[in-house]
Structure 1
């Protein structure tokens, strides 16, 4: 197996030390996706470029979300000198973060550590006030709750975000992409490409890749008008845009618009728009303490009774019963602003309406 020379400057550099703080019910795949590129970087370079350890508050065992019990290397009090701390979150993150976690992370920030998170771990950094003024990625299942709980954090639907000394990633294999970009930045593209090849990873995704599969991948590339309409719907859930106005913006008739939705999305435009708003409402009910009245308002319903009626018809239960369902019930896909929604499109529609901005764009 060939080895990669990291260069004279890197050869004289001490290994970077990374501590992975494991929270209860962390996702094992996200931890492995972050650690394995470091191991392979050492193996392919023939040098110890990275060191890593796993941590819990007291050094005791911790359960992963798949039921595996992990024995950490150390407690946070006995951790070795670290350059970077990465929080590994998972299921039920709001219940997993404690005051002690917050205090320790704040102490690491004061000492100048780089801070990161994978899966839902960004919630812990935000609780500690360590993402205020930063762009941040998080697993889509936690995104709506973070938007409501931490307004000073700029949330993103991207797979991962590198903003100064904050490294945040969504879940699954997204941490692999984030770590490969960090390795490329520090030791060159050749090494990160070789690591990707060893993992049979065909394409290293970048910061512009989003968590949700864009609509164009489902429709093909020959329906730009439909993509644009759906993108605007997704971006304006709190103050829904009139369908006639949407049709005028993309230069189609109302009848043509309805035909596009029936042919490709198998429902009317108004039904699709309602579905988007109800799915967002379900997320907020499950992830935030917002009242039903507040949820109805931010999802574009003019009255709570109308919201409750629509919700029951779509999901089969009233909104008040949603919070009584188990927390591990089937997750609901988040509705982020897709890549197709470009700033130019937003400004053009604003001008058409005689407005300067869209207050209802929430991402």
Structure 2
């Protein structure tokens, strides 16, 4: 179908949503609906939407919603835009066939985007090397360890040339609204946002996680500053005395500050941050337990194991074994 745009014939732009096994419905549905609404209020079929995936038949989301596919991993038109949709167990869903297909289509010049965790598949195919990208905050630690060539950001979405990545959730709506504005103007994008009751359109300058004061429920500038330094220095932890010095207080004052607002010592809070990162790496990567320990600031594997067991009531080795059993069940 040819759409008349300001009286000028124009072919609809085709988006091919490639659904990986266990993809996240929210990211997928938000992106598709933004394009659907643009078609409805834009005066014609601006976008053609197709669903593709391995096998070309049916794929299930992580919520067990099943989507009938229009295409297998077939050869596309150069003008198409691929939107890869990921979700749970993205490593398992990233098959050799999918990687080869992504590389082939990329060589032909097809633009590619990735929603939620699907940025992993693009990176695995080498299609994000030396580019800016983002991924869901829960996967950032493991992603940055595995793909050092990618310039990972904490933005809600990133557009770098003909590569697009989002952080998941409603970030796919922000990406689509940006693309609609580029294709057809800000007014249409705003009308689509209004239809979606989407009152605040984010840009690639917005970060995906809540601010530290919002996350911890405390608005104290020095406390936030210390926590930010902790989060940025997990591999090489900073001593409480230096942290205190950096914000202009004594170590004793810092201790009191943490006890008052977070009911734990700075040392304990820092340890919990490091162990949380360690758990993410154990569950999302194939890194050895020793390398996970080093990446989280533990010089000794035995000390790491002891701290991990005290916090999670299991050892890092058993945690890794449990994940392996789940992957093969």
Q: State if a TM-score over 0.5 links the two structures.
A: yes
Instruction: Select which of 176, 191, 196 maps to 2:193.
Output: 196
Instruction: Select which of 63, 67, 88 maps to 1:66.
Output: 63
2:4 and 2:242 mapped to 1: Cα distance?
58
Change in 2 beyond 3 A, CA 1:122/1:226: same
Instruction: Select which of 142, 145, 150 maps to 1:148.
Output: 145
| 2:235 match: secondary structure | coil
Change in 2 beyond 3 A, CA 1:221/1:34: same
| 1:200 match: secondary structure | coil
TM-score, normalised relative to structure 1: 0.84
Do residues 313 (structure 1) and 318 (structure 2) align?
no
Do residues 177 (structure 1) and 174 (structure 2) align?
yes
Unmatched runs of 5 consecutive residues or more in structure 1: 1-5, 330-363
Measured after TM superposition, the shift of residue 51 of structure 1 is 1.0
Unmatched runs of 5 consecutive residues or more in structure 2: none
Is the contact made by 1:115 and 1:165 (CA closer than 8 Å) also made in structure 2? yes
Measured after TM superposition, the shift of residue 11 of structure 1 is 4.5
Partner of 2:83: 86
Instruction: Select which of 127, 137, 153 maps to 2:134.
Output: 137
2:70 and 2:4 mapped to 1: Cα distance?
31
Do residues 223 (structure 1) and 248 (structure 2) align?
no
Instruction: Select which of 286, 296, 301 maps to 2:283.
Output: 286
1:149 and 1:77 mapped to 2: Cα distance?
29
Partner of 1:233: 230
Is the contact made by 1:145 and 1:288 (CA closer than 8 Å) also made in structure 2? yes
Is the contact made by 1:120 and 1:142 (CA closer than 8 Å) also made in structure 2? yes
Partner of 1:38: 35
Instruction: Select which of 241, 246, 261 maps to 1:244.
Output: 241
TM-score, normalised relative to structure 2: 0.92
2:93 and 2:27 mapped to 1: Cα distance?
16
Q: Deviations over 1:219-255 (max 9, x none)?
A: 6785211111111100001111111111111111212
Measured after TM superposition, the shift of residue 100 of structure 1 is 1.3
Partner of 2:23: 26
| 1:210 match: secondary structure | coil
Is the contact made by 1:144 and 1:283 (CA closer than 8 Å) also made in structure 2? yes
Change in 2 beyond 3 A, CA 1:135/1:7: farther
Change in 2 beyond 3 A, CA 1:327/1:217: farther
Is the contact made by 1:57 and 1:77 (CA closer than 8 Å) also made in structure 2? no
